[in-house]
Amino acid sequence: MRFLAGLFLALMMALPAAAQAPPGPAKHVVVELVAERQGIAPGETIHIALRQQIQPHWHTYWRNSGDSGEPTQIKWTLPDGWQAGGFIWPTPVRIAVGPLMNYGYQGEVLLPMTLTAPANAKAGDKVTLKAAVSLLVCADVCVPEDAALTLTLPVTAATASEDPKWGDVIEAAVAAAPKPAALNAVFQPKGAGVALAVTGAVLKGADMAGAYFYPFESTVIDHAKPQTIERGPEGLTLTLSPGYAFQGGKAPASLAGVLAVGGKAYEIAASAGAPPASASGLGPPPLKVEGGDNLGLAAAALFAFLGGLILNLMPCVFPILAMKAASLAGHGGGDHGEAHRQGLAFGLGSVLTFLGLAAGLIALKAAGSAVGWGFQLQSPPVVAVLCLLMLAVALNLSGLFEVGTSLQGAGSGLASRGGSLGAFFTGALAVVVAAPCTAPFMGPALGWALTQTPAAALAVFLFLGLGFAAPFVLVAYAPGLLSRLPKPGAWMELFRKALAFPMYGAAAWLAWVLAQQAGPEDLAKLFAAGVVVGLAAWLAGLAQRRAALGGKPIVLTAGAGLLAALAVAAVVWPQDKAAELPTEPYSPARVAELRAQGRPVFVNYTAAWCVSCQVNDKVALSTHKVAQAFARHKVAYLKADWTKRDADIAAELAAHGRAGVPLYLVYGTKGGEGVILPSILTPDIVVKAVEAADKS
């Protein structure tokens, strides 16, 4: 035992002299101060960090929290001469909540800072640094949390060794944080948007997919709107939706923030000016291919044809390959005349759809809209309808209902028909789904095309369509290839049902796209519409089977059609516009006074930084349905604003078992305790609550 005790004492004496701060007592976020080195020398600057370990499904906020929230803050109490810098903010992630978009962190995050010792610090001493940390952590509710932290470091005569646990971690966090680079950035209001163009050597060859601009100021853009990307040989142009700072014909002097692109992030400060052609290919000069000369029409057409060929191999087009394969298999070992006709029809549908999309893009640009290739999938209603269409295709392939004898046309109502008409519309559907993808060679060709005359641009898109259609047309006209396909038989039914799964995958991908564009509220509507589409498909199949037995399933057929129409209407119908509700400030005395008058009272405990509060306000409280119910029942609406922390409101929250907001209380006309509503509201929940309050 003495040996073990001595060994334990020796190990304790051998521990690093630097004492990390103990974790704070926060409930949803464990916070502590950590240092990259085991000590600090006089006059030296080292990095320390505030470590946040955030509970699953909760998040904290970046320096600009977005539509709601508050950034983490730290206030130091330091000995004379010691200095601590501000946070070196890591690149945030986007956190969509309903119609809002916030910027913050989940899981574990380190917020590095610099710590500088005074030159007269004495080696051998120890310094204790004190910090008061305040943060906001949110999930369904938002809870302000505070922590008092300390960090003790020895003052060493020379640079101390790296901390074995935190040294590399803090160094990596500092290295990955956004920093200024040799980038030129300008912005310009354009149509209904703001074009932000960024060029520089570090962007050449970078993967532009998913590029995003996080502004430092919360009022310069509409955070919830998508940012469209247009590539150029030396950079990119993002089209942003303007925020309050651009209202009334005004514009900020600069647009500063973080550009996340290609897995890296850079600080930029854009000044007002016209975007250069090299940022997006939208200016008058022809684009240059990196490392080459200016493209001409012949080179652009060749690049477009090659890009169209390769586009058939892109993941977003794979589900449509299922339809092509099923159709060709149906002509194996037989007369090839029908295959020839369908090959030409598919090619014609593909080419004409490419030209139609190109004409629409050119027209929109001429009208001043800043849109890019694949613009049809930048509209949430279009994405939602395509998702339902892919789901219907999958259900058809699974055998839930039938729409024709040709599997080639399983894409839509028209595409489902047999023969050339089905092939034509399958080609059109393939282009609509394939267009958001950009294959190699496509970028320079499309960029060049959009700087030319409409005739030259359409010629390039023509070759893009020809390249896309060529493989299918070639196989349809190659007797040797067709003869090698298996003869039609019972295997085709199994093959058909297997091909349903890529279409289910396409529907899931489009649902994910919609979630990024419009948030969970629209995604929930899409899921509900998907269930309705499934019911409609089942009724359609039931009607077909009954008709095959000699019945007259008029009601079933009409019901299936009606449900399908309702599903589409649900995802494209505009949401209820915002309505203003008259409010008054909350106080316990005012609540008592209103209740003595026999009026229903609705108390909203809220805060500007509370994400759930803002979502509920937009999707539930600020609707005409709720406003009419409040007016009809003469409800008094009180707001208990906890944006600036208030001891009385905190006491009321605690009295109802809450540590944070939102909290919604409804008091009836006949007294009694207030009824607590759910943290996530819908208009129906609020309306039913006030109707009940007017009777109780």
CA diameter of the chain: 100
Could you tell me if 208 and 304 lie in one domain?
no
Q: How many CB atoms lie within 10 A of CB 314?
A: 15
420-477 pLDDT, tens per residue? 776 787 777 777 666 555 555 665 676 567 656 788 888 888 898 888 888 778 777 7
Q: Is the pLDDT of residue 195 over 70?
A: yes
Domain of 37: which CATH number? 2.60.40.1250
In the listed set 223, 255, 280, which residue is the last one of a domain according to the structure? 280
pLDDT: is 409 or 104 the higher one? 104
Could you tell me if 423 and 466 lie in one domain?
yes
Q: Quick one: pLDDT at residue 278?
A: 58
1 falls within a domain: no
Could you tell me if 229 and 87 lie in one domain?
no
Q: Is the pLDDT of residue 150 over 60?
A: yes
564 falls within a domain: no
Instruction: Name every residue whose Cβ is closer than 8 Å to that of residue 351 and which is 6 or more positions away in sequence.
Output: 462, 465, 466, 469
* Mean pLDDT in residue range 78-102: 93
Could you tell me if 588 and 610 lie in one domain?
yes
Classify the phi-psi angles of 124: left when phi > 0, otherwise alpha if psi is within -120 to 50, otherwise beta: left
Domain of 239: which CATH number? 2.60.40
Q: Which of 170, 172, 179 is nearest to 49 (CA)?
A: 170
Could you tell me if 418 and 453 lie in one domain?
yes
* Mean pLDDT in residue range 471-492: 65
Q: Quick one: pLDDT at residue 289?
A: 35
Buried b (16+ CB within 10 A) or exposed e, 396-426: bbbebbebbebbbbbbbeebbbbbbbbbbbb
pLDDT: is 231 or 36 the higher one? 36
Query: Alpha carbon of 526 to those of 460, 504, 683: distances in Å?
Result: 36, 14, 18
Residue 290 — pLDDT band, cuts 50, 70, 90?
A: very low
Could you tell me if 226 and 150 lie in one domain?
no
pLDDT: is 309 or 17 the higher one? 309
8 A C-beta contact, residue 305 and residue 218: no
Query: Alpha carbon of 417 to those of 179, 323, 334, 338, 472: distances in Å?
Result: 56, 13, 20, 14, 18
Q: Quick one: pLDDT at residue 286?
A: 35
Q: How many CB atoms lie within 10 A of CB 6?
A: 10
Q: Quick one: pLDDT at residue 28?
A: 92
Could you tell me if 170 and 36 lie in one domain?
yes
The identity of residue 423, as a single letter, is A
236 is written with which tokens?
A: 């990119």
Could you tell me if 307 and 365 lie in one domain?
yes
pLDDT: is 399 or 171 the higher one? 171
Residue 365 — pLDDT band, cuts 50, 70, 90?
A: low
317 falls within a domain: yes
Could you tell me if 412 and 275 lie in one domain?
no
Q: Is the pLDDT of residue 487 over 80?
A: no
290 falls within a domain: no
Q: How many domains does the chain have?
A: 4
8 A C-beta contact, residue 57 and residue 141: no
In the listed set 176, 209, 235, which residue is the last one of a domain according to the structure? 176
Range of lowest pLDDT (56-65, 290-299, 566-575): 290-299
Q: How many CB atoms lie within 10 A of CB 479?
A: 10
Give the separation between CA 521 and CA 516, rounded to whole angstroms. Answer: 11
- What's the half-sphere exposure (Cβ side, CA atoms, 13 Å) at 369? 12
Q: Is the pLDDT of residue 32 over 50?
A: yes
Could you tell me if 42 and 100 lie in one domain?
yes
What size, in residues, is the chain?
696
* Mean pLDDT in residue range 253-277: 90
Global pTM reads 0.56
* Mean pLDDT in residue range 524-529: 88
In the listed set 225, 253, 280, which residue is the last one of a domain according to the structure? 280
Q: Quick one: pLDDT at residue 282?
A: 42
88 falls within a domain: yes
The identity of residue 430, as a single letter, is A
Q: Quick one: pLDDT at residue 122?
A: 94
Could you tell me if 333 and 353 lie in one domain?
yes
Give the separation between CA 603 and CA 585, rounded to whole angstroms. Answer: 10
10 is written with which tokens?
A: 């020796």
Instruction: Name every residue whose Cβ is closer than 8 Å to that of residue 147 and which is 6 or more positions away in sequence.
Output: 24, 25, 26, 31, 132, 133
Q: Is the pLDDT of residue 583 over 50?
A: yes
Domain of 610: which CATH number? 3.40.30.10
Could you tell me if 365 and 481 lie in one domain?
yes
Q: Is the pLDDT of residue 386 over 90?
A: no
Per DSSP bridges, beta strands 184-190 and 264-272 are: parallel
Q: Quick one: pLDDT at residue 292?
A: 29
Q: Is the pLDDT of residue 340 over 80?
A: no
Range of lowest pLDDT (13-27, 220-234, 356-370, 527-541): 13-27
28 falls within a domain: yes
Q: Is the pLDDT of residue 488 over 60?
A: no
Domain that holds residue 322: 297-379+404-500
* Mean pLDDT in residue range 346-368: 75
Classify the phi-psi angles of 672: left when phi > 0, otherwise alpha if psi is within -120 to 50, otherwise beta: left
632 falls within a domain: yes
Q: Quick one: pLDDT at residue 618?
A: 83
170-189 pLDDT, tens per residue? 999 999 999 999 899 999 99
Residue 647 — pLDDT band, cuts 50, 70, 90?
A: confident
Q: Is the pLDDT of residue 377 over 60?
A: no
Range of lowest pLDDT (14-23, 575-584, 590-599): 14-23
557 falls within a domain: no
